[in-house]
Amino acid sequence: MMSQTLKDRISDDVKSAMRARDTARLGTLRLLQAAIKQKEVDERKDLGDADVTAIIEKQVKQRRESVAAYEQAGRTETAEQEKAEIQVLQEYLPKAADPAEVEAAIDAAIASVQEQGATGPAAMGKIMAILKSSLAGRADMSAVSAQVKAKL
């Protein structure tokens, strides 16, 4: 049996959430489905798991920013709701890379780019491109970027 695509899994989970009357989870998954559909319509193609993962990452990032804004505004209830949505979305991302793994990936990417003789801003771009593919969905890329800057 072919393993289930991310889209199918999300679709099945929407049905489960409906049956369980889990409105919070259902809302989050429906928003995610809508974002996937929108991108498919825009690009006129079926999205694969990598594309869906990118959408999920983007949604998690948006919610993290919202949480920060809500907490600053003292709207803790709304912030908690966003955090709950992040939890739901993260179930569909690959398991997070542990700090040692991220560190190793950064060191390898830097070494690889320096071998090619790239330096400065050009090197930063190349390093991040390598890391984006190796750590896709498994690390907070803004944090990774800061780590890379610190090492350069």
End-to-end CA distance of the chain: 46
Task: Give the model confidence (pLDDT) of 64-91 as tens digits.
Answer: 999 999 999 999 999 999 999 999 999 9
Angle value at C-alpha 64, between 102 and 24, nearest 5 degrees: 120
Task: Give the model confidence (pLDDT) of 90-138 as tens digits.
Answer: 999 888 788 898 899 999 998 988 888 887 778 888 988 888 878 876 7
Q: Which residues of 59-92 are buried (b: 16+ CB within 10 A; e: fewer)?
A: bbeebeebbeebeeeeeeeebebbeebbebbeeb
pTM: 0.70
